[in-house]
Amino acid sequence: MNQVLLYCRPGFEKECAGEIQTKATDVEIYGFPRTKSNSGYVIFECYQPGDAEKLVKKLPFSSLIFARQMVLVAGQVTDMPVGDRISPLLAALAEYSGEFPRCGDIRVEMPDTNDGKELSKFCRKFTVPLRQALRKQGYLFTKDNAKKPVLHVFFTAPGECYVGYSSSDNNSDFFMGIPRLKFPADAPSRSTLKLEEAFHVFIPREEWDERLASGMWAVDLGACPGGWTYQLVQRSMFVHAIDNGQMADSLMETGQVKHHEVDGFKFEPPRKNVTWLVCDMVEKPARVAHLMGQWLVKGWAKETIFNLKLPMKGRYDEVLQDLENLKVFLIKNGLKFNLQAKHLYHDREEITVHIQVLNPVTPH
Ligand code: SAM
């Protein structure tokens, strides 16, 4: 096996390819990406046989910004006959029977494109007989097991797919790498789903009660009309909402929100009891990243989720530079932290960054 398949948002293949190329080189694995514009995926082909396995083991999935999923490819199957699409898939797997692990789950997926949408009904139906056949041949355990690898069949066209697997401890938990979230009817804006998705992606569910606890104070910079504040209020937090615009009345009526009509770059929390800082201001990404760094270094917040709006050109380089500057700034100031950045499903021309400070500073 010498290919790794990465799913991404259509239109971001170049960023996804640039990122895997750089990060593979960092771990001394060499190869080249194959991309097709707006296809919603990238294939990274390693020069050395066996290197793809090494790559998916060495590279933490959480370190990838633009990839929604990372799959080790066993083979590509083309010209699948309409009457029997299962046999060629089994034949492709048989070639790697010694190396292919028994999996705990199967996902029959497609790119997140308009063409992909047309395949979704077929993929759903196909999953049932394929699961049975794979169980019979021993490629799948007889019962679903979330701790075992996941078998992926990724259809790129009717009768054409990649087959491979991902490790349950180094992949996205979600079908197609996309958490399915329902828009809450009473939320003031669709952006609310960005922050909810960020919670799902960055914070383990079992830690929500502690890290997103009721009664905490949060600051929301660029809050209007209140989609992000809504998420915090839903979790029974108190929020300083900073924006010159209009906040949704429904949020103000909860009594949990203080609206400050001031510049987010000048606001200082009145009491230093803030746990969460979130920021969705439409501003230069370098400026936002620096502001977030200042808040953490001053001890004004312990954890932050913020968006970096991407420029038209050089999107990957801008992200790399801004994150690198921010890390250097935090390290220079003695902070220990976890930082993760992701191009979320609900992000368009932006990425979302999460930082958790591990050695909180006394506010000053
Ligand atoms: N997160 C919000 C939601 O879910 O409803 C949407 C935020 S919207 C994308 C960006 C907001 O940032 C706008 O309401 C704008 O007024 C605000 N903004 C931009 N620059 C700002 C600044 N310097 N200070 C405060 N707010 C700012």
Q: Domain containing 35 — which CATH number?
A: 3.30.70.2810
Burial zone of 309 (CB within 10 Å; 0-12 exposed, 13-18 middle, 19+ buried): middle
The CB of 351 under 6 Å from ligand 1? The reply is: no
* Residue nearest (by alpha carbon) to ligand 1 atom 17: 222
**171 and 230 share a domain?**
no
For ligand 1, the distance from its centroid to the CA atom of residue 191, given in whole angstroms, is 11
Boundaries of domain holding 301: 192-357
The CB of 264 under 6 Å from ligand 1? The reply is: yes
**131 and 236 share a domain?**
no
The CB of 282 under 6 Å from ligand 1? The reply is: yes
The CB of 176 under 6 Å from ligand 1? The reply is: no
**256 and 310 share a domain?**
yes
For 211-220, b/e burial (b = at least 16 CB within 10 A) is bbeeebbbbb
What is the pTM assigned to this prediction?
0.95
**221 and 327 share a domain?**
yes
**157 and 196 share a domain?**
no
**40 and 124 share a domain?**
yes
> CA 98, CA 177: separation in Å to the nearest integer?
27
**121 and 234 share a domain?**
no
CA 84 to chain centre: 35
* Structural domain contains residue 148: yes
Question: What mean pLDDT is predicted for residues 133-144?
Answer: 96
Q: Quick check: helix, strand or coil at residue 122? A: helix
What are the pLDDT digits (tens) for 161-211? 999 999 999 999 999 999 999 999 999 999 999 999 999 999 999 999 999
What are the pLDDT digits (tens) for 265-312? 999 999 999 999 999 999 999 999 999 999 999 999 999 999 999 988
pLDDT value, residue 332: 98
Total domains, the chain? 2
Active-site amino acid positions: 309
